[in-house]
Amino acid sequence: MLGAIIGDIVGSRFEFGPAPEEGFDLFTDDCSFTDDTVCTIAVADAVLNGKSYKDALVEWCQRYPDPKGGYGARFYDWIFSDDHAPNNSCGNGSAMRVSSIGWLFDEWEDVVEEARKSAAVSHNHPEGIKGAECVAEVICWLRHMRFSKNDVERKVQKFYGYKLPPLSDIMRIGSEGHFDSTCQETVPAAIRCLVDSSTFEDAIRLAVLCDGDTDTKADITGAMAEACYGVPDEMVERAVSYLPADMRKILCQFYQHIQDEIG
C-alpha cells in the first residue's frame, strides 16, 4: 500500500508539469498526494473497518475534494452525485486504488472478488473491473511468491489477456504527449515497468519516465513493486511526511493488521 502511495507522490509533480528527465529528484516541495492516495486509503479503510467500498470512497473523496491534480471529470461527478451510481468507466482509477486488497486477502478467489467489488461501485466497465482484478492478483502472487517477477508477464497474458508493450514504446508514446488514462493502457504499462525493473526505486523511476499519467502509472507500479522488493525505509519516511494524520492512521492500521497476520 505504501508502494502505491510513494509512486503517487513521486509522480504527482509530472502529471501536468514538465516532462521527467533521467535522475530526477524523487521527493520535492512540488510533490503531493493526489486522488490516487485518497482512493487507496478509502479502499483500505473499507476493508479494515467494515465499510462498503462506495461509502468509504465517497467519504474520503468528499473529505479531500481538491487534491493535487483533481479528480477525473466522470469520477468527480460520481463523488458528488445523489445516488453514486456506477458510470461504466474503464478509467485507471479502479486499478490505482486496489493495492490493499492484494494484501488483506490471502486466497486468490477472495482477492479477485474483492477487487471486482471495489471497482464496480464506480468503474463497472469490464475493462475497469479487469484492471483492478489484475493488479490485486499480481500483488497477491508476488507477496506469496506463487510466481516470480519473471513469470508475471506470461501469467497476466494468460489470465487477463494483457500483452505488455515494450518499455521503449511506452516511453515514446508518453514523450509524444499521450495521456494514458484507461485501465487497458495503464495496467499493462505499469506491469512492464515492474517486469523490467531491478529494485523498488528503479520501478518507480521507470514508471515516471514513461510520462503521461505519471502519478497513476507510478502508483500501480509501486503497489506491485512493494510486494516484489519491499520498500526502502528512507522512502517510507519521506512519503509519510506528505500525508495528513487521518491517512497515517489508516496506514498504521493496515500495516499492524499485516504484521498481526504474519504472527
Ordered DSSP codes for 116-136 = HHHHHTT--SHHHHHHHHHHH
Confirm or deny that 260 is annotated as ligand binding: no
C-alpha cell at 23: 535522475
The answer to the question of whether 34 is labelled as a binding residue is yes
pTM (predicted TM-score): 0.97
- Going by C-beta distance under 8 Å and a sequence separation of 6 or more, which residues neighbour residue 18? none
213 belongs to an annotated ligand binding site: yes
Q: Which of 3.40.47.10, 1.10.510.10, 1.10.10.60, 1.10.4080.10 is the CATH number of 2-17+29-262? A: 1.10.4080.10
Helices (H), the chain: 2-12, 35-49, 53-63, 73-79, 93-96, 101-104, 108-120, 126-143, 149-160, 167-175, 183-195, 200-209, 214-229, 233-240, 245-262
C-alpha cell at 152: 508475471
Nearest-angstrom CA–CA distance, 144 and 238: 27
Known binding residue 25? Answer is no
83 annotated binding-site participant: no
Determine if residue 35 is labeled as part of a ligand binding site: yes
Residue with cell 479502479: 94
Give me the tens of pLDDT residue by residue for the chain, a chain 263 residues long: 999 999 999 999 999 888 899 999 999 999 999 999 999 999 999 999 999 999 999 999 999 999 999 999 999 999 999 999 999 999 999 999 999 999 999 998 999 999 999 999 999 999 999 999 999 999 999 998 888 888 999 999 999 999 999 999 999 998 888 888 999 999 999 999 999 999 999 999 999 999 999 999 999 999 999 999 999 999 999 999 999 999 999 999 999 999 887 65
Burial class (CB in 10 A: 0-12, 13-18, 19+), 143: middle
